[in-house]
């Protein structure tokens, strides 16, 4: 039996995933929105630091200008640190038409970022458009 989180990801488009972050990784697009008429909703985020780097942080944002902060910043000072964020089944929306990004303050830390999310059509689309 599915939970409320899975129901949203099944009814709309599942946008969950993960990103391995290496010591040389900089800012990264985690997931690109389908088009400007869609919105990504982030339900859960898990961050695991496997290679510490003092004074560095990771943060999830969107690609809007100015950026919309989704969660973080997460310090990467200690190996084995982990952070869990739960925004509920409906999730927190990014700015419409914007991508989900990992904002790395500076290279040096390593780990993995995992997220549960979905995207849905949130504005009217003209007939025949993609």
CATH at residue 19:
2.60.120.340
Residue 125 lies in a domain: no
Residue 126 within a domain:
no
Q: H or E segment at 119?
A: strand 110-121
- What are the start-end ranges of the H helices in 12-128? none
Count how many domains the chain has: 1
**Predicted model pTM:** 0.91
d(CA 56, CA 74): 8
130 lies in some domain: no
Q: What range does the domain containing 96 cover? A: 4-119
The per-residue pLDDT for 3 is: 85
Per-residue pLDDT of the chain in tens (130 residues, 90 and over written 9): 468 999 999 999 999 999 999 999 999 999 999 999 999 999 999 999 999 999 999 999 999 999 999 999 999 999 999 999 999 999 999 999 999 999 999 999 999 999 999 999 999 876 665 5
17-21 and 110-121 as β-strands: parallel, antiparallel, unpaired?
antiparallel
Count the neighbouring beta carbons within 10 Å of the beta carbon of residue 101: 22
Check: CB of residue 103 under 8 Å from CB of residue 45.
no
- List beta partners, residue 103: 59
């Amino acid at each position: 039996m599915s939970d409320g989180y899975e129901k949203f990801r099944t009814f709309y488009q599942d946008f969950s995933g993960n990103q391995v972050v290496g010591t040389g990784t900089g800012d990264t697009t985690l997931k690109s929105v389908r088009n400007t008429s869609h919105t990504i909703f982030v339900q859960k985020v898990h961050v695991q630091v496997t290679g510490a780097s003092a004074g560095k942080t990771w943060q999830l944002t969107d690609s809007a200008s100015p950026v919309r902060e989704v969660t973080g910043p997460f310090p990467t000072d200690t190996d084995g640190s982990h952070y869990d964020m739960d925004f509920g089944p409906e999730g927190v929306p990014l700015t419409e038409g914007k991508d989900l990004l990992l904002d790395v303050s500076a290279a040096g830390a390593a780990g993995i970022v995992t997220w549960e999310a979905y995207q849905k059509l949130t504005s009217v689309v003209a007939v025949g458009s993609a």
